[in-house]
């Protein structure tokens, strides 16, 4: 029988990270024991919640979100370094998931942020969970950076999208990596590609506002609908995809679960059910491949 202890690495990647939940559920269903987690950005959020034993509560909540609720959690601000404060969603989460010290979690957990001034990674493996993930999810130009000591912290994915080097790995643990920068899947229709949230009603002014904000923050790689944030996001994503690929090639995980990079846009948290199912199905496939490889090696 293959080893069932897992050191789990969860990459950055916006709402696609809800697929991490499906992966974790499938690992547990197949009898794997997750002994440690590291994550960047959304990977830090999901990984920390699992380490706190609060992932079920989060999953039940996120499944209730529709487009209107997602946009209601966006605390827009007039700022020179981000148009979202990034506080409202965590305040909402803290109403049913209290903060916790990372060092008191049931398994080792590391959240990665980027010190943008000194161009280096900052790893949180102690202190407040919410403080750590708020720094780790600070998407440049979108979510305001965090002041930290004498510098500023932004999204961990900038320098370390797939934080394999920061996982606490016990001897014999298999390395499992969930990469949210997998090969793209074909869109089924132009309507699906170009669809933007419309939550402001039907008046011309409200429609204009919806389209304006939609163009600013919608990103799916479609060259015909590039807004301000979309262009920045796609440009940085190209670099992050390459960095993640090189990291995975360097460390050679036993199991790599690649989530298509265009399976959701940055803020598509209303697609929770779809993304969780996607993660579960892709994890099942890769676990089967791992088990088959192990069986062939032993025979």
% of the chain with per-residue pLDDT over 90: 74
Q: Which of 41, 136, 219, 261 is catalytic?
A: 41
Average pLDDT of span 1-10: 89
Contact 258, 179 (CB under 8 A): yes
Q: How far apart are CA 218 and CA 4, in angstroms?
A: 39
* Number of Cα atoms under 13 Å in the Cβ half of residue 107: 21
Q: How confident is the model at residue 284 (pLDDT cuts 50, 70, 90)?
A: very high
Lowest mean pLDDT among 96-110, 182-196, 264-278: 182-196
Active site residue 41: yes
Q: What is the CATH number of domain 5-184+204-298?
A: 3.40.1090.10
Main-chain dihedrals φ then ψ at residue 292, nearest 5 degrees: -65, -40
Q: How confident is the model at residue 187 (pLDDT cuts 50, 70, 90)?
A: low
Q: How far apart are CA 245 and CA 206, in angstroms?
A: 41
Q: What tokens does 29 get?
A: 């269903």
Active site residue 99: no
Write down the pLDDT at residue 201: 42
The structural domains of the chain, with segments of one domain joined by +, span 5-184+204-298
Q: Which of 12, 15, 155, 268 is catalytic?
A: 155
Compute the mean pLDDT over every residue in the chain, rounded to the nearest whole number. 88
SS3 271: helix
Q: How far apart are CA 208 and CA 195, in angstroms?
A: 15
Q: How far apart are CA 17 and CA 272, in angstroms?
A: 10
pLDDT value at 261 more than 50: yes
Rounded (5°) CA angle 248-51-275 = 60
Q: What tokens does 292 get?
A: 């088959």
Q: How far apart are CA 95 and CA 99, in angstroms?
A: 10
Write down the pLDDT at residue 294: 77
């Amino acid at each position: 029988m293959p080893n069932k202890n897992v050191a789990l690495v969860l990459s950055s990647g916006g709402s696609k990270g809800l697929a991490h939940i499906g992966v974790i559920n499938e690992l547990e269903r197949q009898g794997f024991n997750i002994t440690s987690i590291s994550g960047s950005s959304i990977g830090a959020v999901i990984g920390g919640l699992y380490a706190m034993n609060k992932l079920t509560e989060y999953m039940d909540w996120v499944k209730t979100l529709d487009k209107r609720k997602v946009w209601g959690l966006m605390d827009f601000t007039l700022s020179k370094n981000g148009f979202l404060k990034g506080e409202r969603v965590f305040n909402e989460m803290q109403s049913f998931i209290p903060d916790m010290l990372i060092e008191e979690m049931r398994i080792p957990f590391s959240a990665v942020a980027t010190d943008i001034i000194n161009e280096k990674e900052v790893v949180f493996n102690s202190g407040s969970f919410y403080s750590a993930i708020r720094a780790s999810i600070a998407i440049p130009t979108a979510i305001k950076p965090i002041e930290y000591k004498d510098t500023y912290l932004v999204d961990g994915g900038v320098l370390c999208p797939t934080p394999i080097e920061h996982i606490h790995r016990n001897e014999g643990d298999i390395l499992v990596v969930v990469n949210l920068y997998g090969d793209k899947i074909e869109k089924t229709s132009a309507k699906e590609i170009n669809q933007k949230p419309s939550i402001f009603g039907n008046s011309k002014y409200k429609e204009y506002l919806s389209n304006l904000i939609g163009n600013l923050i919608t990103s799916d790689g479609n060259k015909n609908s590039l807004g301000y944030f979309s262009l920045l996001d796609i440009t940085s994503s190209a670099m992050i995809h390459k960095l993640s690929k090189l990291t995975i090639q360097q460390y050679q995980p036993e199991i790599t679960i690649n989530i298509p990079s265009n399976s959701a846009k940055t803020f598509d948290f209303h697609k929770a059910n779809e993304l969780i199912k996607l993660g579960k199905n892709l994890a099942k496939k890769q676990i089967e491949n791992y088990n088959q490889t192990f069986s062939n090696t032993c025979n």
